[in-house]
Structure 1
């Protein structure tokens, strides 16, 4: 996510670019980031062009929002959640108001047992503590046996972490893609499946079949997912629940809040308040002497 291709309008972060392209070295390289221009993992508010890395990336932010796009869809990374981008996957990112966070670069061989597709997962206290340890090793070419064991535990934590419903798959079929783009442009459009099918020159049965084949879910599920993505982006920008509810076509804000709670287990206010006040394990206190 953080390094940038040569075609991007933003200057590349050479320090992270070099680390993310390392074929040798330790299985995990962890770096701490901030909005400062000389940070190894530069954040702030910016956009990257399409790019990819030799190493996979596990990254987490403490504030703001990151929107990552791939050829097959997009997903959002809110604060105190971890995003995973597999090695060699082309992607681009929009970074909004992110002041601090961390990034763990995973060697291709170490990433073989990790998810093959990008995802957003929960971050446990153990994962936070392991990342703090790993940042202290970032200058080492060879890890000690104890550090290798801790690296393996960190990868186990990622494998077992619960996935969050923040991914929005995109189709390749041109007719379904036309519908998807129209829904994203106007997420409150209340047209039925039959109406959307007729608009795109499809039968309702064909649209239903295409959604399952290309999106892995029903049209109604995909449209709700698109609404959640829109809601998270809008709420992160400071828009009110009432305004977001209206944009998504809900009759009342309480109906929108109920949908949000079903998806995330809590109300929008609590969702963002908890993430704003989540433990800031990331102030990177010094590790005690002799820590592995």
Structure 2
């Protein structure tokens, strides 16, 4: 199994490899000279940037632009494939985004992972790489992520909720936790994230729920764990967000 540290400095402009990490592993904050595409084959990853938090269950990928500071946390044992793309081939531009992986894109990633790191950018390999980058560009984004504030006090609140999305403590508690008056907390939180605390927390809960359901956990267990009083209330929320019930989402 190839790891990023094993890759040569003079590698081809687009290279891929497969890696594996245990539950609880944290890849500390860092950035790459190249764009990075990480695709979860099994397990669940959390990817944090300076501005947002993303969750990667199986069959979902994240595009991380060059020089973007990020951290990866393995929520469970994870097997994933990584592609490093020279900035000249960064068709995605500057945006960090998450998207579902089509069967064709999955096959292309797997094929590129078999290439030698010094292949020529012509012939069969180059054609496959170009097709892969075109497919990445056309994959629709999954619109579920949580914006993170730059204010350290608000960031501390958000990190606590991300660590335990089922926490039901109210806005008064979190304002006090941040060391801010309730009105100041409410105004500042909306200015920094574009939404109120209740909406932001609901977004975090649906991220958590979708990732755990996709990883095969019981819908009822997940519903209670993320703070809902009943599976029916959770199902209604999930359907409003994804346009499908949790069971239908899992099958898809």
Settle same-fold status: TM greater than 0.5.
yes
The answer to whether the 8 Å contact 1:171/1:177 transfers is yes
Matched, 1:246 2:232: no
Distance 1:130 1:106 in 2: 14
How far residue 241 of structure 1 moved from its aligned partner, in angstroms, is: 2.9
User: 1:122-146 CA deviation, whole Å, 9 max, x = no partner?
Assistant: 2123322332442343343422155
Q: What value does the CA root-mean-square deviation take over the aligned residues?
A: 3.1
- Runs of 4+ residues over 6 Å off in structure 1: none
Aligned twin of 2:77: 97
Aligned twin of 2:193: 215
Q: Where in structure 2 are the equivalents of 1:114-125 lying within 5 Å?
A: 114-125=92-103
The answer to whether the 8 Å contact 1:82/1:121 transfers is yes
* Shift in CA distance, 16/217, structure 1 to aligned 2, threshold 3 Å: same
Q: Where in structure 2 are the equivalents of 1:186-265 lying within 5 Å?
A: 187-189=166-168, 191=170, 196-197=174-175, 200=178, 201-204=180-183, 206-232=184-210, 234-235=212-213, 240-265=218-243
The answer to whether the 8 Å contact 1:68/1:92 transfers is yes
How far residue 54 of structure 1 moved from its aligned partner, in angstroms, is: 2.5
Q: Could you tell me which of 20, 24, 29 is aligned with 2:15? A: 29
Classify the secondary structure of the residue corresponding to 2:77.
Answer: strand
Aligned twin of 2:4: 16
* Shift in CA distance, 241/124, structure 1 to aligned 2, threshold 3 Å: closer
Aligned twin of 2:63: 84
How far residue 242 of structure 1 moved from its aligned partner, in angstroms, is: 2.9
Matched, 1:61 2:47: no
Q: What residue ranges of structure 2 are gaps of 5+ in the alignment?
A: none
How far residue 29 of structure 1 moved from its aligned partner, in angstroms, is: 0.7
Scaled by the length of structure 1, what TM-score is found? 0.70
* Shift in CA distance, 110/118, structure 1 to aligned 2, threshold 3 Å: same
Classify the secondary structure of the residue corresponding to 2:42.
Answer: coil
Distance 2:219 2:16 in 1: 37
The answer to whether the 8 Å contact 1:64/1:236 transfers is no
Q: Could you tell me which of 129, 132, 147 is aligned with 1:151? A: 129
The answer to whether the 8 Å contact 2:20/2:77 transfers is no
